[in-house]
A = this chain, B = another copy of it.
Amino acid sequence: MFKFEIDIKRGKKRTGFLTVNGITLETPLFMPVGTQGTVKALTHRMVEDIGYKLILGNTYHLFLRPGIDVIKQAGNLKKFMNWKGLILTDSGGYQVFSLAKGKLGNRKAKVKVTEEGVEFRDHLAGDLHFFTPERVIEIQEIFGSDIIMPLDHCIEYPSSEEFTVEAGERTLRWLERSLKAKNKNNQYLFGIVQGGFDGKLRELFAKETVKYDLPGYAIGGLSVGEPKEIMYEMTDIVTDILPEDKPRYLMGVGKPEDIIEAVERGIDMFDCVIPTRSGRTGILYTSYGVVNIRNEIHKYAFEPLDPECDCYTCKNFTKAYLRHLFVSEEITSYILNTLHNLRFYAKLMEDIKSAIREDKWDLLREKYSAYCFTH
């Protein structure tokens, strides 16, 4: 089952309840990324403890490793992982198109797009694969993910109008094929709105996508290097068209300021590698701004990382200790940093919901002023 109820609405901002297969989540929500069947550097218990019930898995990575045979024999992805919450899987489209830019390995791989699908060599063994919309649905049906995404044609910034139209139209045709290929009732396919960085095309493709009357809608192809103003503008244009009563998911976004800006523009769902990846590189998000824990100024900083944070890391350890662990390349550093950053994001979403409910958005922006550079 899939149910989305809006609770409070102020301007375009909304709080709501998203119930999927028996688990209810409050929105706006953030999904930690669990690329290869785990949120990096954490155990499931830690992820649950800091407040997450829905994580994202990457179809591309899981397809390669452990492979669909293993997941099929385990029952499904949640059984394989023993994850008790919900899972959303992406379509692999973004990763496949990233291969052409050399983002997933040391070399750039040739990625061949046809109307039928996408041919590519993977970044691990270099094997040749072919993803079609039907195949991507089949894979996600094997995964048993609660929310699934259709194969879409991702383009880079900037792209020509012609190419943007071509990719957007193909994305629509692939969505139609995805819907036809779908067999299971307990998995919910979202539509992905493409349209590049042109407001009129975004409007066009948003209108075309909503015709399919899907349980939820995602905005794809943003946060790929375009100026922030363009990302915010495209988001604003698309959410004006998306139906009020369906959840809206801004894919791959973002930094705290991006999330705040996007919620203002009516977004309900987010995913991003920033809190987890930054944790592993010593970049920590706090109530007073971003901290680079490697910095020598923290050597004798015998105070908590963030006195306003209630996470295990902040309740127990000093910046001096966290710096020592990071400089010493201790795995424990990556655990404590990731735990903190994801808890910071969970708290950000809690604060966002409270600010909408209590109509105190300006106070929220003030609280997160270290992250709010626009307006």
Distance A290 CA – B323 CA, assembled complex (angstroms):
35
Closest chain B residue, CB of each to CB of A316: B82
Question: With A302-B73, A331-B41, A334-B331 in contact, is A82–B36 under 8 Å at CB?
Answer: no
Distance A73 CA – B327 CA, assembled complex (angstroms):
18
Encode A44-74 as 1/0 by CB contact (under 8 A) with B: 1100000000000000000001100010011
Q: How far is the CB of A43 from chain B (nearest CB, A)?
A: 6
Q: Identify which of B41, B45, B80, B320 contacts A74 (C-beta below 8 A).
A: B320
A299 and B70 form a contact (CB under 8 A): yes
Q: Identify which of B40, B44, B324 contacts A70 (C-beta below 8 A).
A: B324
A321 and B43 form a contact (CB under 8 A): no
Q: Is A113 part of the contact surface with B, judged by Cβ < 8 Å?
A: no
B302 and A74 form a contact (CB under 8 A): yes
Q: Is A325 part of the contact surface with B, judged by Cβ < 8 Å?
A: yes
The prevalent SS among residues of A at the interface is helix
B321 and A82 form a contact (CB under 8 A): yes
Q: How far is the CB of A130 from chain B (nearest CB, A)?
A: 23
Name the B residues within 8 Å of A330 (CB-CB). 36-38, 40
B332 and A42 form a contact (CB under 8 A): yes
Closest chain B residue, CB of each to CB of A65: B328
A66 and B324 form a contact (CB under 8 A): yes
Distance A40 CA – B331 CA, assembled complex (angstroms):
6
Closest chain B residue, CB of each to CB of A80: B321
Which residues of chain A in 354-372 are interfacial with respect to chain B, using CB atoms and an 8 Å cutoff?
A: none
Name the B residues within 8 Å of A70 (CB-CB). 299-300, 320, 324
Name the B residues within 8 Å of A41 (CB-CB). 331-332, 335
Encode A340-359 as 1/0 by CB contact (under 8 A) with B: 00000000000000000000
Closest chain B residue, CB of each to CB of A328: B36
Number of interface residues of A (CB under 8 A): 39
Q: Identify which of B37, B73, B321 contacts A325 (C-beta below 8 A).
A: B37
Question: With A38-B330, A302-B73, A330-B38 in contact, is A43–B324 under 8 Å at CB?
Answer: no
Q: Is A15 part of the contact surface with B, judged by Cβ < 8 Å?
A: no
Q: Is A317 part of the contact surface with B, judged by Cβ < 8 Å?
A: yes
Encode A301-327 as 1/0 by CB contact (under 8 A) with B: 010000000001000111011011101
Question: With A331-B331, A335-B331 in contact, is A318–B38 under 8 Å at CB?
Answer: no
Name the B residues within 8 Å of A300 (CB-CB). 70, 73
Distance A82 CA – B314 CA, assembled complex (angstroms):
12
Q: Is A23 part of the contact surface with B, judged by Cβ < 8 Å?
A: no
Distance A335 CA – B332 CA, assembled complex (angstroms):
9
Distance A363 CA – B149 CA, assembled complex (angstroms):
56
Question: With A70-B299, A74-B302 in contact, is A40–B320 under 8 Å at CB?
Answer: no
Closest chain B residue, CB of each to CB of A333: B38
Q: Is A263 part of the contact surface with B, judged by Cβ < 8 Å?
A: no
Encode A25-46 as 1/0 by CB contact (under 8 A) with B: 0000000000011111111110
Distance A334 CA – B336 CA, assembled complex (angstroms):
14
Q: How far is the CB of A295 from chain B (nearest CB, A)?
A: 14
Q: Is A297 part of the contact surface with B, judged by Cβ < 8 Å?
A: no
In the complex, the 9 A-B pairs of residues with the closest C-beta atoms, listed nearest first = A41-B331, A66-B324, A38-B332, A36-B328, A82-B316, A38-B330, A331-B334, A65-B328, A73-B300
8 residue pairs from A and B, CB less than 8 Å apart = A37-B321, A42-B332, A65-B324, A74-B321, A80-B321, A82-B318, A331-B331, A335-B335
